[in-house]
Amino acid sequence: PYVTVDKIHESTPHTGSKTLISTIVDGHRHEWEPFNKEHDGHFSTSNNLYKNILGNKICFEVINHDLELAFRYCWVTSGIYGFARQCELENLGQRALSVELVDGLLNILPAGTPRFAQTNVSTLVDAYKWSELDEKTGLGLFALYSGITDRAEPCESLRATTVFCLGLQGQKVLLSSKQLGRFRRGMPLTQESHKRGIRGAYLVNVSLDLAPQACQRWQLVADVEQSQTQVVKLRRQLADPAEVAAAITRSVDNGSDKLARIMARGDAFQVTAEENVSAHHYANVLFNILRGGTFDNQYQVLSGDFRKTVAMFNRNVYQRHATLLDSLPEQLCYTQLFSTIREQNDPQLERLTCEYLPITFGRRHGDPSRPWNQFSIKLKDDRGNYMLSYQGNWRDIFQNWEALLFSYPEFIENVIAKFVNASTVDGYNPYRITKEGIDWEVEDLDDPWSYIGYWGDHQIIYLLKLLGLSRQFHPQRLGSLLHQSAFSYANVPYRIKSFDSLLANAKSTVEYDQKLAERIEQRVDYLGADGKLLQDANGEVYQVNLLEKLLVTLLCKLGNLVIDAGIWLNTQRPEWNDANNALVGQGLSMVTLYYMRRYISFLQQLLANESGSISLSREVDLWLTETAAALSKVRPQLQSGPASARQKYQLLAALGQAASRYRETVYKQESFSGKAPQPLDQIRHMLEDALAVIDHSIQCNLREDGLYHAYNLLHIKPEAVEIGNLYPMLEGQVAALSSGAIEPARAVEVLEALFESEIFRADQDSFMLYPDRQLPGFLEKNRIPEEDVKAIPLLRRLLEQGDDHIV
């Protein structure tokens, strides 16, 4: 069952692999249960865990030094037969042993078990369980006798989980754990051919004679969601166990070969003098690809997948070009495809082509310790046909793609397009991205993990890293994209409140526009995934140039700038680490500000050789102009030292009101009113002023211990902003060191200070994200000094009256 990691550990006694061994040594009967922690200390044992470098085989081994026995089992996978648990029992001694063995799997989940039902009403699920054994072949079938429903309707369950055993002779098969107690008491077991209403198991019971140094091998093979047709086919195959075993070996080897080829496409294999370094690099690439995927076949594109993608995103565009799309060769190089598409002179089709990514083998980031995570690697559709697919949280997938792009630099601009095409008019990104488009959260009041808002941490540095790759591999391409209207805006139905509302309550700042969400859903129904993007007056996706997208990303951060303190976290989500949830609304991110310095420097270099003007949406043009004016006004004041509380407020108000007016206008229009030329010189001046303000802020965030502040606290007063400091954090030092604002000698001092700080763990020779601080105990929290209570008449009077509702 798919459960969180704590329950996985707790379920060890009753779920998964189970082995019981009984043998007689020197006239005494010994009971041994390998890997049963409750039996630790009964014997002298050594445990080992192995994984092959390829990463698709894991082996558990335990050596019993007293009994001179070694038991090991390895998990491998077969694309045809499912999961194979390959077992060995080895006699390490010089005497023959007679062994009574029970081995197999407990708590086998039937096919079709609803996850919600298994998680919340598992006892009810048990009542539906039906386990049966084909005694001729030893094939175990685990199914629900009917579908689990409370409706007055027929609901059959016609798929099964299957398990069979190869390699043993004369074994009995148990379909439950009911007889394990009998085995432990030395009593004989009887085969079970049918069980219902209880949790299923597949356990084999057999007697073995092991000569000195001899080894007995067998395997249990399990698969899921098997139809009746597939079960009948498997049952026929099991009439020849030797051929099935050989077929499993071939299938496992074939899967390993396919995995190796996938990894080779990601440049995972190295040959160096240090084998451990090569293995470590391979593991890094494997985990990166498993999260972000990899390109299917170098730069080759399956025209069928491209055609389906266009139709899925925009039916109108597909219909306009159906003849062309149908005439494409079955497979062609991406550059050839792009040239063909560009000849059609359709900006909408070109946009879809520019962001097309033929990626496979990826899954959404996540692990079982987090209850909201659900993910899978989809390689085939419901009919078994090969398919391309990817999915990921926005905060994660682009860092995976960044690494992948070193192997596929021709797709760099496609990933940049995918990134910016889904940023919103107010400068943020949605929660999730998949091959089917973007997705955002909808708040469910009954789900404590459900919430809406924007994370801001990924935007600046992740985008900057992609832009840097483009300049590194293709120095001229970004320059041409700056002026090309080939990029879109995501139309996420979130509405950030006005600046005054943010000041009033910075923890409740984003509203869900239900009516807009319904209109978007209607657009998706008739148009496709492009219905989630901002439309123009003609119902087409509104498109702008790359520079506008880059500027909006920057402007939204500047709209929340508190000089000398950081970027205000006021979109209901934290940055970098979910442990920072408490900073939402009152936190200021210097981490983002450090990265903004790099981002602005990059934009300055990008625009260095540009002249004249550039077309921007009118509302963006006005937002930029007002932001530039606010920065220009404050810059001369920087010469007099740190900004005062009033100066901080004045700049925040000027920048925040400009952003607020922009949002209000665009939200109301649900689009832009047209485009206007913006002189590039004015953009350059704005960048210069922003850089000066940021440099001043970085200088003011040097701590007395030689480190840099990562986050600060915001205290809003009437016409003033006061700042509090937090403890040092590792990400703050990383961001500061890479900002470009710190001289080499100062950088060395930061590194030396890091080793002297509480962030450094000498026992691990590594760094923690945050110091391991001494926190107050339970009775030390929630305490108010007596003099503070007495200073407030209302509290004093309530206490005198014996009213303890407040204090």
Tokens 């206007």 label which residue?
676
Residue 201 within any structural domain of the chain: yes
Q: Is pLDDT at 199 greater than 60 in this prediction?
A: yes
Confidence of residue 800 (pLDDT cuts 50, 70, 90): confident
Confidence of residue 806 (pLDDT cuts 50, 70, 90): confident
Residue 274 within any structural domain of the chain: no
Instruction: Measure the CA–CA gap between 246 and 687, rounded to whole angstroms.
Output: 67
Judge if pTM exceeds 0.85.
yes
DSSP string, 647-680: HHHHHHHHHHHHHHHHHHHHHHHTS---EEEEEH
Q: Is pLDDT at 582 greater than 90 in this prediction?
A: no
Residue 346 within any structural domain of the chain: no
Nearest partner of 494 among 573, 549, 557, judged by Cα: 573
Give me 596's structure tokens.
């903004």
Output the pLDDT for position 463. Answer: 95
Residue 754 within any structural domain of the chain: no
Output the pLDDT for position 372. Answer: 60
Output the pLDDT for position 475. Answer: 95
Output the pLDDT for position 363. Answer: 75
Output the pLDDT for position 371. Answer: 60
Output the pLDDT for position 369. Answer: 61
Summary mean pLDDT of the chain = 94
Q: What average pLDDT does the segment 799-805 reach?
A: 87
Q: Is pLDDT at 1 greater than 70 in this prediction?
A: no
Instruction: Measure the CA–CA gap between 353 and 516, rounded to whole angstroms.
Output: 28
Output the pLDDT for position 197. Answer: 96
Q: Which helix H or strand E contains 760, and what residues bound it?
A: strand 760-761
Output the pLDDT for position 565. Answer: 97
Q: What average pLDDT does the segment 620-646 reach?
A: 95
Do residues 678 and 616 touch, judged by C-beta distance below 8 A? yes
pLDDT digits (tens, 9 = 90+) for 361-411: 887 666 656 666 666 778 888 787 889 999 888 778 899 999 999 999 999
Q: Which amino acid is at 449?
A: W
| CATH number, domain containing residue 531 | 1.50.10
Dihedral through CA 756, CA 760, CA 762, CA 766, nearest 10? -130
Output the pLDDT for position 39. Answer: 87
Structure letter (DSSP) for residue 250: H
Output the pLDDT for position 461. Answer: 93
Output the pLDDT for position 364. Answer: 67
Confidence of residue 152 (pLDDT cuts 50, 70, 90): confident
Q: Is pLDDT at 219 greater than 80 in this prediction?
A: yes
Percent of the chain at pLDDT exceeding 90? 81
Q: What average pLDDT does the segment 117-143 reach?
A: 94
Q: What average pLDDT does the segment 609-628 reach?
A: 97
Instruction: Measure the CA–CA gap between 758 and 761, rounded to whole angstroms.
Output: 8
Confidence of residue 141 (pLDDT cuts 50, 70, 90): very high
Q: Is pLDDT at 220 greater than 70 in this prediction?
A: yes
Output the pLDDT for position 177. Answer: 97
Output the pLDDT for position 361. Answer: 87
Question: How many residues make up the chain in this entry?
Answer: 807
Do residues 582 and 573 touch, judged by C-beta distance below 8 A? no
Residue 630 within any structural domain of the chain: yes
Considering only residues 26 and 221, tell me which one the structure prediction assigns the higher pLDDT. 221
Domain boundary among 728, 744, 760: 744
Q: What average pLDDT does the segment 708-722 reach?
A: 95
> For the chain, how many structural domains are there in total?
2
| CATH number, domain containing residue 163 | 2.70.98
Q: Is pLDDT at 437 greater than 70 in this prediction?
A: yes
Considering only residues 803 and 467, tell me which one the structure prediction assigns the higher pLDDT. 467
Output the pLDDT for position 3. Answer: 75
Q: What average pLDDT does the segment 543-551 reach?
A: 98
Handedness of CA 600, 475, 477, 407 (dihedral sign): negative
Structure letter (DSSP) for residue 427: S
Instruction: Measure the CA–CA gap between 415 and 392, rounded to whole angstroms.
Output: 14
Instruction: Measure the CA–CA gap between 82 and 556, rounded to whole angstroms.
Output: 50
Give me 447's structure tokens.
């789900």
Domain boundary among 744, 764, 782: 744
**What CA–CA distances, in Å, run from 39 to 89, 99, 107, 278, 625?**
19, 19, 21, 39, 73
Handedness of CA 419, 425, 427, 429 (dihedral sign): negative
Residue 383 within any structural domain of the chain: no
Output the pLDDT for position 48. Answer: 98
- Exposed/middle/buried for residue 644 (C-beta within 10 Å: 0-12, 13-18, 19+): middle
Tokens 């924007």 label which residue?
454
Considering only residues 582 and 473, tell me which one the structure prediction assigns the higher pLDDT. 473
Q: What average pLDDT does the segment 645-653 reach?
A: 97
Q: Is pLDDT at 718 greater than 90 in this prediction?
A: yes
Q: What average pLDDT does the segment 155-168 reach?
A: 96
Domain boundary among 225, 260, 295: 260
Considering only residues 449 and 673, tell me which one the structure prediction assigns the higher pLDDT. 673
Q: Which amino acid is at 612?
A: G
Structural domain boundaries enclosing 57: 5-260
Confidence of residue 576 (pLDDT cuts 50, 70, 90): low
Q: Is pLDDT at 2 greater than 80 in this prediction?
A: no
